[in-house]
Amino acid sequence: MESKAAPFEFHHRFWIFVGIFFLAFICYAFDRATCVIFLAEKLAHGDPRLIDTWVRILFLVSAALVFLGGAIRAWGTSYLRAEVMHDKRVRSERLVADGPFRYVRNPLYLGNVIAGAGIGMLASRTGFLVLVFALLIFCLRLISHEEKELSATHGESYRAYCKAVPRFVPSLWPRVPSAGNPPHWLDGFLGEAWWFSLGAGGVALAFTFQLAHPMRIYWGVTFGMAALGMLLRRTLLPPRKTAPAAKSSGDNN
């Protein structure tokens, strides 16, 4: 029987995601080997002259995964609008098959896992595994919850969409025609500013990890970029409306 998240899990999903990241990073308590350093030593075959180069490359790979996950989420959010994506209930007023939802039913959750893998490279070896697998399991549970709600709401139209579009592994080509809804790119990218901030922090870390207190630089860049994103969002975007917004596949987060 397929595992499905309880309404409590869906309602409090943000804090459960935070708890998963926290759990992954406290694995340093018993596994002190950072995933990036561990991989760099393996790839350098013990040659100390190559370790620093591989560390920089892997930090950039980490940042690239975060940027990729954030970009996928921003693409999806630009069609859902940020207020729908962050809602604590499944928004299902109407189906919208546009943007990434033509390739995969749950692009926002897919973005979570990809970006989480990038951040997990900064954790310990155990922390990386905990983070990726816990995110994957929890996202699949949330998807099951949302898809049951959407199937009940939209009936055969949603079931036909599910048959055509993959659930979590994206297709290489669109599986359904575009519904013609325009994306709101500014809303999408500013709504996912936190992920891009973490990616920028990872890039900074790649070039400053040999300096004193590199993690201070990482968090300084991350929170600085996040604050800028919040400022731009408040300045450039209109206030959120309380009226129902368009919903695509139930991918709320």
- Non-local (6+) Cβ contacts of 26 within 8 A are 127
Tens of pLDDT, residue by residue over 54-104, are 999 999 999 999 999 999 999 999 988 644 444 444 444 456 678 999 999
Is 2 within the bounds of a domain?
Answer: no
Residue matched to tokens 């048959």: 163
Is 250 within the bounds of a domain?
Answer: no
Choose among 170, 189, 203: nearest CA to 232.
Answer: 189
**DSSP per-residue codes, 188-236:** HHHHTHHHHHHHHHHHHHHHHTTSSSHHHHHHHHHHHHHHHHHHHHHHH
Distance CA 145, CA 93 (A): 16
Written as six digits, the tokens of 101 are 């939802």
Choose among 95, 51, 102: nearest CA to 76.
Answer: 102
Please give the distance of CA 228 from its chain centroid, rounded to a whole number.
20
pLDDT at 81: 61
Helix (H) or strand (E) holding 151, with range, is helix 125-154
Question: Between 12 and 131, where is the model more confident?
Answer: 131
Domain count, the chain: 1
Distance CA 133, CA 119 (A): 13
pLDDT at 181: 84
Is 245 within the bounds of a domain?
Answer: no
Is 21 within the bounds of a domain?
Answer: yes
HSE-CB for 41 with a 13 A CA cutoff: 6
pLDDT at 251: 65
Residue range(s) defining the domain that contains residue 80: 7-236
Tens of pLDDT, residue by residue over 174-232, are 999 888 888 999 999 999 999 999 999 999 999 999 888 899 999 999 999 999 998 99
The CATH number of whichever domain residue 219 belongs to comes to 1.20.120
Is 130 within the bounds of a domain?
Answer: yes
Tens of pLDDT, residue by residue over 29-56, are 999 999 999 999 999 997 888 999 999 9
Question: Between 226 and 3, where is the model more confident?
Answer: 226
End-to-end C-alpha distance for the chain, whole angstroms: 24
**Per-residue confidence at 146, pLDDT binned at 50, 70, 90?**
confident
Is 156 within the bounds of a domain?
Answer: yes
Residue matched to tokens 């013990």: 46
Is 40 within the bounds of a domain?
Answer: yes
